[in-house]
Amino acid sequence: MNDRDALTAYAASFVDELAENGVKHVVVSPGSRSTPLALLLVEHPEIEIHINVDERSAAFFALGMAKVLKEPVGLLCTSGTAAANFYPAVIEAFYSRVPLIVLTADRPHELRDVGAPQAIDQIHLYGRQVKWFVEMALPENTGEMMRYARTVGARAVAAAAAEPAGPVHLNFPLREPLIPNLEQAKEFRQNKLTPSVLIESGVRSLSASQMDSVAATLSQAKQGLIVCGELPDPAMKEAVAALAETLAFPLLADPLSQLRSGSHDKGVIIDAYDTFLRDEAAKSVFRPDVILRFGAMPVSKPLLLFMKKQKQAVTLVVDGGAGWREPAGLATNMIYCEEKDFCQRVGQRITGTAGDGWLRLWQTVNGVTKNALATVLDEAELSEGKLFALLADMLPQKSTLFVGNSMPIRDLDTFFMNNEKGIRTLANRGANGIDGVVSTALGVSTVADKTVLAIGDLSFFHDMNGLLAAKLQKQDITILLINNDGGGIFSFLPQANDREHFETLFGTPHGLDFSHTAMLYGGKYDKVQTWDELKRVFTESFEIQGLKIIEVPTERESNLQKHRNLWSYVSREIKLVLDREIS
């Protein structure tokens, strides 16, 4: 049997095993060395491929799909720097626990380190940012090697999906000829010449005695607090909200926790903490004796600084992925248990609750802060904060909001309040980079209806080439482009005090006209000047298929001053209410 038959038997077995283990989507970047896998993937009836010519964009696109699907998505490229361009998204996937199966084609061993073209060292290319790496064997047409190919395929899917989810990397050295026999490949799907491998796993759980111990700690707390960061499981919001109600603990909910949106009871959910925890008077009256944390660390820096000062508190961190996401450094108990199971089983064991005054004080300060926010944001001029406050009303039911890093995610945290809509909020908060955001959102829009991206101008510029996917694949997405002509977040940082070098090194104004971007990629473009215009154009965008870019111009210095005015006003209002409540 010739080399082509060996290539076909080996690669077809691997591809079919991916499908057998539930892989439905693979993002493919064109290349020569990856030809066998690309052809076999596109021919497989149970796998849908998505073409993206730029590897960096392709990897983030796959990341976005996997975020929504919560299942491994494949990623394929040729050898050389093509594989290196996957790296930023691989890092993000690793730290945000998103399952990816990264497939890189490679030169065979005899062409490595000898000056052959497009041959770099791809062994452990992504270092410790992948959960598992395999240097695949060269294709052979034997029963043992077909079984090997299937086994690796099954293990790759299982490893990527197992908690904590993340990327795996399989590197395929391939010799010419690179064209498989597609007719022969069909036999491997229809006749199953080699058997599939089934890998099953369960969830982490605590014993009854361990649950009893945790429940006792929580039941004895008189000033307990629950803090929720990003939670990918949509079922968690009902479970953790119910636990907070049972305990009478305030629940501080990051916007990525999914707890701020939906029909569940929000009576104990505190959503304005990012603003009032900047106030020293407010912080001084909140002294929790127990802090119970779920999910990644929340976005809010004031919340992080607040928690770091609570050295008197017992701090329990529940993590079904058995990681160590605890930058505050004060965890007294790391609990490795599936989060929903924990909430339900502990909730059944609670024998005492926090005092009514504790929860009521949090609710009062939260309400005063929200009223102050509404007062300050009652303005005619376009502003970044008010934009995110309005999104809760403007977004349609069961929509998905993807938010860029830097200022957008922080403004979402500050201004996007509790609402009854089923709005899913997503962001790349693994490594928190501003690269690849457009492509990630486009990946999201592939598998989620009514997707909106809210993004700053520099982050948009970083990934404008990702918009080619929107044009070629007719993606339906609305992009809110917040353009303050540079790096707005630096105005809030100490670097802003260096006026001589600030604009050159940090402000970095670009003066770009983004209408040309929309034209290049076949999108509809609007630049709004008033709130009424924004509401009208935004609402109309859901009646139009395709790429829609809505530019919202703002001014960096004005944005900084508005935030400062808000914080000052809130502090005055909090002082009044605390004087009344505590006196």
Question: Residue 378 — very low, low, confident or very high, per pLDDT cuts 50/70/90?
Answer: confident
252 alpha carbon, distance to own chain's centre: 19
pTM over cut 0.85: yes
Residues 540, 309: Cα–Cα separation, whole Å: 47
Alpha helices for 221-279 (secondary structure H): 236-247, 273-276
Q: Where in the chain is the domain with CATH 3.40.50.1220?
A: 208-366
Largest Cα separation within the chain, whole Å, is 90
Backbone angles phi, psi at 486, to 5 degrees: 145, -165
d(CA 104, CA 204): 32
Residue 198 confidence (pLDDT): 84
Given a contact cutoff of 8 angstroms between Cβ atoms, the answer to whether 359 and 249 are in contact is yes
Q: So what's the pLDDT on residue 1?
A: 52
Q: Phi-psi region for residue 510, left (φ > 0), alpha (ψ -120 to 50) or beta?
A: alpha
Mention the CATH class of domain 208-366.
alpha beta
> What tokens were used for 171?
């590197």
- Give the tens place of pLDDT for each residue, 96-141: 999 999 999 999 999 999 989 899 999 999 999 999 999 999 999 8
Residues shown for the chain? 583
d(CA 145, CA 170): 16
- Between residues 292 and 570, which one has the greater pLDDT? 292
Averaged pLDDT, 335-346: 96
Looking at residue 485, what is its pLDDT?
78
Most confident range (mean pLDDT) of 149-158, 185-194, 365-374 is 149-158
List, for residues 15-61, the tens digit of each pLDDT value.
999 999 999 999 999 999 999 999 999 999 999 999 999 999 999 99
Classify domain 384-553 by CATH architecture: 3-Layer(aba) Sandwich (3.40)
Residue 490: per-residue pLDDT: 65
Contact 98, 73 (CB under 8 A): no
How does the average pLDDT of the chain come out, rounded? 92
- Who's near 128: CB < 8 A, 6+ residues apart? none
Sign of the dihedral defined by the CA atoms of residues 478, 480, 485, 491, in that order: negative
Q: pLDDT value at position 527?
A: 97
Mean pLDDT for 501-509 is: 69
Q: Return phi, psi of residue 485, to 5°.
A: 55, 55
Alpha-carbon gap, residue 560 to 360, rounded angstroms: 32
Q: Where in the chain is the domain with CATH 3.40.50.970?
A: 3-190, 384-553
Name the token pair of 39: 């052809």
Of 47, 37, 38, the residue nearest 13 (C-alpha): 37
Tokens of 55: 């590897």
- As a three-state string, the secondary structure of 262-276 is CCCCCCCEECCHHHH
537, 382 Cβ separation under 8 angstroms: no
pLDDT score for 502: 65
Nearest to 523 by CA among 542, 547, 545, 541: 547
Q: Do 226 and 244 contact (CB within 8 A), yes or no?
A: yes
> Domain spanning 3-190: which CATH class is it, in words?
alpha beta
* pLDDT at position 504: 67
